[in-house]
Amino acid sequence: MKLATLRTVGGGTTAALAMAADSYLALPAIDVGALLAQPEWRTIVEKAAAATHQDVISGADADFGPLLPRAGKVICCGLNYGDHIQELGRELPEYPTLFAKYADTLVGASDAVEVQGSVRVDWEAELAVVVGSELFRADDDQARAAIAGYTVANDVSMRDWQSRTLQWFQGKAFDRTTPVGPVLLTADEARDDFEVRGYVNGELMQQGNTSTLVFGPAQLLSYISQFTMLRPGDLVLTGTPGGVGMGMRPPRFLSDGDVLITEIDGIGRLENRFRIHAPVIANA
């Protein structure tokens, strides 16, 4: 099944189940995170799908909020695709490179993204893993069993801020700049590997297959769980394939008005127009 967090007319949000014919069934939870926090969430979805009275939202009216607007942890892995690592001139790592961001960074699948104060706004198309149950000091098998499913994310990065210091956090933590969604594809329906693609104004920039990840989804969750508890609705971004703007010669960055598309076959597509409020300076 596919689950979404949709904005409602009253200014709130609701978790929703994608149904046939491009429509969504509202579920009794304010977002996908609140749904996953209930251990019997599958039963809740099944009951809603079988109910006589259904609150159905047409696909045309669906306004996607960030999939997990209140995720407790959003942990990202850098340098995880062989080709991207080579693009940056680095060697294959023994351990995953991890950094943290907060849920305030997240935006919806079709939202405009406003950036103020950066002139090196770069893209990072990624598969994101959604945690489905508590996980602490877990092995790979336990971690795999705790995956609720997968979604699409773009770890949009302000390279000027990211490179100001050794720690990437400040370039990765701008509020409302990390598109995520449109849906969670549950693990039981997921293929083994995903094709991840990123486009700028229709031009293909990034393409990678998650079969080439140095650390796969279960490995990442297991590794992280050695030091911190993962909980339902937490999000782990698995890293980006080659083709980021910073790696180009000369480097390329997003300009005001550009449209960034991030898509994964079988899950869905993010399409975000960028508003970049910053003095225009040369990219290189």
Positions that interact with its own copies (CB under 8 A): 72-73, 75, 78-79, 93-102, 104-105, 116-117, 136-137, 158, 161, 164-170, 173-175, 224, 226-229
Instruction: Decide: helix, strand or coil at residue 72.
Output: coil
Check: CB of residue 2 under 8 Å from CB of residue 185: yes
Strand partners, 275: 114
Check: CB of residue 148 under 8 Å from CB of residue 183: no
Q: Supply the minimum distance, in Å, between the C-beta of residue 227 and its own copies.
A: 4
What is the rounded distance in angstroms from the CA atom of residue 9 to the CA atom of residue 7? 7
Nearer to its own copies, 164 or 191 (CB): 164
Q: Supply the minimum distance, in Å, between the C-beta of residue 96 and its own copies.
A: 7
Nearer to its own copies, 72 or 251 (CB): 72
Sequence-separated (6 or more) residues with CB below 8 Å from residue 144: 217, 218, 221
Q: Supply the minimum distance, in Å, between the C-beta of residue 72 and its own copies.
A: 7
Nearer to its own copies, 73 or 252 (CB): 73
Strand duo 56-58 + 125-131: pairing: unpaired
Q: Supply the minimum distance, in Å, between the C-beta of residue 147 and its own copies.
A: 20
Check: CB of residue 131 under 8 Å from CB of residue 32: no
Nearer to its own copies, 88 or 112 (CB): 88
